[in-house]
Amino acid sequence: MNVADLVAIDMHTHAEVSCCQPPDLFVKEFDDASDKYFGAVIKSASGRRPTIPETIDYYRERKIGLVMFTVDSEANVGGRRIPNEEVAEFAAKNSDIMIPFASIDPHKGKMGAREARRLIEEHGVKGFKFHPTMQGLFPNDPICNHLYEVIAEYKLPAVFHSGHSGMGTGMRGGGGLRMKYSNPIHLDDVAVDWPDMTIIIAHPSWPWQDEALSVCLHKPNVYIDLSGWSPKYFSPALIQNANTQLKRKMLFGSDFPLIAPDRWMADFEKVGFRDEVKPLIMKENAMRVLGLSA
């Protein structure tokens, strides 16, 4: 990644539309509910969410680097995932601006761990994404350890959804999704047991923001990405800690295409982040997490 040419690095973007397989109509109800929850979801000219190459073009135009992943929740939700290989192949062709993360449902156990190792060694995957609510388990469930062992061996980062989920919001029974799995306090166990794995708590973790801040402060291998919310809705505690003792532990993330990076960055300038902290959040902290140099 040519970091010197970039104004920022977005640590949280989603692969939503595959170029190599048809749309999975099984999860359309979830997508429609999240569109309603987030409101101004970015769409392509065709009216659907952007493909991976469309997303790359969007970020290249803005000179923003991006970390991209899909979400594998096949066991709990039943929706077919976008292949991790597809994300990695586009990243390999656009390595100046894009870094691939993978997502593997922990319910896949040892087979999932085999996949993780193959994706790292053969496809250049640089990190992993977990969504406890969508995947239907606590992140400290022992079934996850097969994957964590591989991630820790290669000293790679792992992003974990935390807090409220737009997925399932407003659906009957919340679409069967249980928010309890995404309380960030459970990541404290993961940080203790896997100190060689960098843990990124995704999103302002409402209604458990204080738990996230505490875990991040206490554990050196824990960071927070600020995706999924406009900064104008950040809690005072989050902004205060980002300006002070956690200024080197906070990361810019948008949650594209659910949140537009343009909107996020405009609001970021208005809510009280200190000038000396802004470069850390927008790019420098991400460079350290991703092992990049200027």
CB neighbours of residue 159 within 10 Å: 27
Which pLDDT score, from 0 to 100, does residue 116 have?
Answer: 98
**Model confidence at 293: pLDDT above 90:** no
Give the residue-averaged pLDDT of 206-225: 98
What is the count of structural domains for the chain?
Answer: 1
Residue 136: per-residue pLDDT: 98
Q: Which domain holds residue 50?
A: 3-290
Residues 185-201: pLDDT tens digits? 999 999 999 999 999 99
Please report which confidence band the pLDDT of residue 27 belongs to, taking 50, 70 and 90 as the band edges: confident
pLDDT at position 10, please? 98
Convert the pLDDT of each residue in 55-100 to its tens digit.
999 999 999 999 999 999 999 999 999 999 999 999 999 999 999 9
Q: What is the pLDDT of residues 98-111, one digit of tens each?
A: 999 999 999 999 99
Q: In whole angstroms, what is the distance from residue 125 CA to residue 240 CA?
A: 34
Instruction: List the strands of the sheet with 64-69, edge to edge.
Output: 8-14, 64-69, 98-100
Q: What pTM, to 2 d.p., does this model score?
A: 0.95
**pLDDT category, 264, cuts 50, 70, 90?**
very high
User: 289 pLDDT band (50/70/90 cuts)?
Assistant: very high
Q: How far is CA 138 from CA 38, 67, 266, 280, in A?
A: 25, 24, 34, 31
CATH number of the structural domain spanning residue 270: 3.20.20.140
Q: Would the pLDDT of 179 be above 70?
A: yes
| Mean pLDDT for the stretch of residues 166-186 | 94
17 vs 31 pLDDT, higher one: 17
How confident is the model at residue 261, as a pLDDT? 96
Query: Which pLDDT band holds residue 266 (cuts at 50, 70, 90)?
Result: very high
Q: What is the mean pLDDT of residues 115-139?
A: 98
The answer to whether residue 294 scores a pLDDT higher than 70 is no
Taking 90 as the threshold, does the pLDDT of residue 38 lie above it? Answer: no
